[in-house]
Amino acid sequence: MPMRSRCPCKAALVRLVIPVTLLCGALAGCASTPAEPVPFKPVPSARIVRPGYTEPAGGRVAMDVRRERSRDVIVRFRDALVYIDGEQVTDVMNGEHVVFYLRPGMHRIGVSTQFDPVVELQFLVTADPRYTNRASVTFDEDHRIMLHRVAQ
């Protein structure tokens, strides 16, 4: 009876297919997809530089600034500095929010990072329920910081 010779090509192919399959699965997990919805965490009080803006007082209206979650590694770990009327108040990290208590009227809300200049938004703070007092901090496709008012 003739003896079969072992084919080294088949064994090498099997040894190559398994690592390639695992690598493809790992890379598919890195695809850019929106982060799952999770409640925003408050900014820790230790990172608030000017606490007067974050304490409730008579005649003041709550205004919420949220840092939208991102899975993008380039912007995920950047802190976004937050300014109220030109004064730095705090910084927000990925998935955090901070509530400011401001007098009704027009205010300048600004944000920046170590790589971006300050981006400001003229923001009307009002007790009128037809408007929201919420701003959202996001990043564009070029990883530049953006700030916009959130509609109801």
Distance CA 98, CA 23 (A): 40
Residues of the chain whose pLDDT is less than 70?
A: 1-14, 24-37, 152
Residue 21 belongs to a domain: no
pLDDT attached to residue 28: 60
Residue 9 belongs to a domain: no
Which tokens hold the place of 83?
A: 């300014």
Which domain does 57 fall in, by range? 41-149
Residue 3 belongs to a domain: no
Residue 65 belongs to a domain: yes
Which tokens hold the place of 56?
A: 């409730």
Residue pair 133/127 in contact (Cβ under 8 Å)? The answer is: no
Give the tens place of pLDDT for each residue, 112-150: 998 899 999 999 999 998 888 999 999 999 999 999 999
Terminal-to-terminal C-alpha distance of the chain: 83
pLDDT attached to residue 151: 82
Residue 47 belongs to a domain: yes
User: How many domains does the chain divide into?
Assistant: 1
CATH of the domain at 108: 2.60.40.2890
